[in-house]
A and B are shown apart, each in its own frame.
Chain A
Amino acid sequence: MNLLLDSINELFAPATAAFALAAIGLNFHFGLTGLLNMGHAGFMLLGMYGYAISTSRGAPIWLALVIAIVVAALFGLLLGWPTLKLRGDYLAIATISAAELVRYLGRSNTLQSLTGGSTGIRGNDFKFTFEELSPLPDENITFLFWTRHGSLSSSWWLVIVAWVAVALFALLYWQLARSPWGRVLKGIREDEDAVRALGKNVYSYKMQALVLGGVIGALGGVLWALGGSVQPDSMGRPTTFWIWTLLLLGGAATVLGPIVGSMIFWMSLVLIKGLASAFIPSSVLSPVEIEPFSLVLVGITLMCLVIFRPQGILGNKRELAFND
């Protein structure tokens, strides 16, 4: 029973919302435009740094958000400028290395005064502006079966704000995907040269999609950081691949795919972890091994999904499937 409540708790946890938001950004890249961004965690980390560093230097919350957005937008422009004229694979190579570059720079000793090196930035240094805005009481609140603090860290306040943000950006995706603008992006996903031959400036559209998706990724990063701290190593390659997995799990090129994918991903992680620790004796699998084991199981589940339902849970196989 506790396990069930824990997994349901995971459905609406701030981390789930943060990943859902990042996946909405990736959906602009991959689902709509067909861009292979393999460095989404880099956008998220830049957003986190932009927000946390400016707040800890005394910036008000709106300015910190603007800085996070601008930093991610510049990163997108910088990455897209040389690579978007080339074939898709080059963007994948450039983004995966650029994201690692951001992480290594962040954890390097030279930038320690700014980024806090490999330990990152403590939550208390940058979360206060957001927490001060909370209208909720400054204490633990129990809603139905779940207890969270009203306004600190992974709070009800953050739950509300995070899901409102996810809803707004899902609406944005919905509106843009059915507009003529989104139609050009879908055309580019199918065949750039055909779209060029119809008189559209493909490079400019790809750049717009890359920057927009990257900025949304950065905001997802900010949500993630508001629930904990800025940790460069939490935004490595695995994070990028998780976001890809949950996007494909939910269904790329759909409005709700990233959200459903994120919910199922996080819930199954907790569920598998809980079941494994309840039913597998510690002589077979020690508690420290359960975490990697559950990730392995999630991986296997996802492989099965990709084999048997390549369009994801909500996807339209005729529009965008994983293996065609």
Chain B
Amino acid sequence: MTDAFASVPHEPGAPKPDPIVTAKNVHRHFGGLTAVDVEHFEVQRHQITALIGPNGAGKSTFFNLLTGFDKPQTGEWMFNGHSLVGTSPAKIARAGKVRTFQLTKALNRMTVLENMRLGAAQQSGENFFRALVPGTWKKQESEITDKAEVLLKRFKLWEKRDDYAGSLSGGQRKLLEMARALMSDPEMIMLDEPMAGVNPALTESLLDHIVELKDEGKTILFVEHDMHMVRRISDWVVVMAEGKIIAEGPPQTVMSNPAVQDAYLGAHHDTDLSEDAS
């Protein structure tokens, strides 16, 4: 699967043959502190891209900027050739780029099935006046429920469908959030630390699910600290440090890049990355 990146140079900001996301000169600072200063960034379509970096590298802020949850001071970024500057998070999601959160946002006091149904896009019953006439949305509702059933079975949550999402374990909530994001058939899924707080028994199935998404033709960008996961599933790795992209490359080689080692070892002597690098 590495052929998509065959011609891509292993350097920061490298252009990709078929980018779904392109960002240029994105700059975000909080007061005097520069959080994100990205000159050029592209994500290859139909591939799994990992965004890694030491704590405070600006990964999550960059993630928020790309999904409209935060606004940069300058910069422009495109999705599928359309500029997303000043676009609201909801519109970005409707355009086909859906995200999950580092701190899982399962809607706790709604059932698993209702969580899933909420994820579906363009529901006519979400209009106030049509909501009053069940005839206008009952059919779509049962279609949505069928779709939710397929996804829940795939993510092994079908037995939990009538439980409140708040009663699920941390890993199950991650699965639910991912399944819910899939309800709208997005082209691209952005996962913010999908492994955080997940019980090791569920890790493998979560990884398999992410690879399956790629096989279905979706594009995935994820932020992660777990290097095992990064090496196992990503096709391309982008490394950030101090708000900038400092390296890019395939997962097998990017960690041996001296700039990456400096960024990690300079700031953290005891992360598990130091073992990886040895």
Contact = CB atoms under 8 A, between A and B. Distances in A.
B101 A197 contact: yes
Interface string B132-173: 101001000100000000000000000000001011000000
A184 B118 contact: yes
B114 A183 contact: yes
A201 B90 CA distance: 6
B263 interface: no
Contact of B98 (A195, A199, A318): A199
A296 B98 CA distance: 52
B126 A200 contact: yes
A196 interface: yes
Nearest to A209: B128
Interface stretch (A96-104, A186-194, A264-272): A186-194
Given A181-B127, A318-B164, A199 B184 contact: yes
A147 interface: no
B90 A181 contact: no
B110 A193 contact: no
Q: Report the contact-size class of chain B (Cβ under 8 Å from the partner).
A: 35 or more
Given A175-B134, A179-B125, A208-B128, A197 B166 contact: no
B179 to A, nearest CB: 12
A109 B268 CA distance: 69
Q: Report the contact-size class of chain A (Cβ under 8 Å from the partner).
A: 20 to 34
B166 A198 contact: no
A170 to B, nearest CB: 14
A205 to B, nearest CB: 8
B90 A202 contact: yes
A193 B101 contact: yes
A175 B131 contact: yes
B131 A198 contact: no
A198 B119 contact: yes
A199 B180 CA distance: 12
B105 A197 contact: yes
Interface string A284-304: 000000000000000000000
A2 B25 CA distance: 80
Contacts of B123: 180
A190 B126 contact: no
A44 interface: no
Nearest to A192: B105
B133 to A, nearest CB: 9
B190 to A, nearest CB: 9
Interface in B149-207: 164, 166-167, 177, 180-181, 183-184
B60 interface: no
A180 B117 contact: yes
A93 B109 CA distance: 26
Contacts of B126: 180-181, 183-184, 200
Given A180-B141, A183-B118, A319-B109, A198 B134 contact: no
Contact of A187 (B100, B118, B164): B118
A73 interface: no
Nearest to B93: A199
B109 A180 contact: no
Given A181-B125, A208-B128, A190 B109 contact: yes
Interface of A: 172, 175-176, 179-184, 186-187, 189-191, 193-202, 208, 212, 318-320
The 8 A-B residue pairs whose C-beta atoms are closest, nearest first, are A180-B125, A199-B93, A181-B131, A194-B105, A179-B131, A190-B107, A199-B94, A196-B89
5 contacts: A183-B110, A194-B107, A196-B89, A198-B183, A200-B126
Given A190-B108, A197-B69, A197-B181, 12 more contacts: A175-B132, A180-B126, A181-B128, A184-B118, A191-B107, A193-B69, A196-B93, A197-B67, A197-B100, A198-B181, A200-B90, A318-B167
Interface of B: 67, 69, 88-91, 93-94, 98-101, 105-110, 114, 117-119, 121, 123-128, 130-132, 134, 137, 141, 164, 166-167, 177, 180-181, 183-184
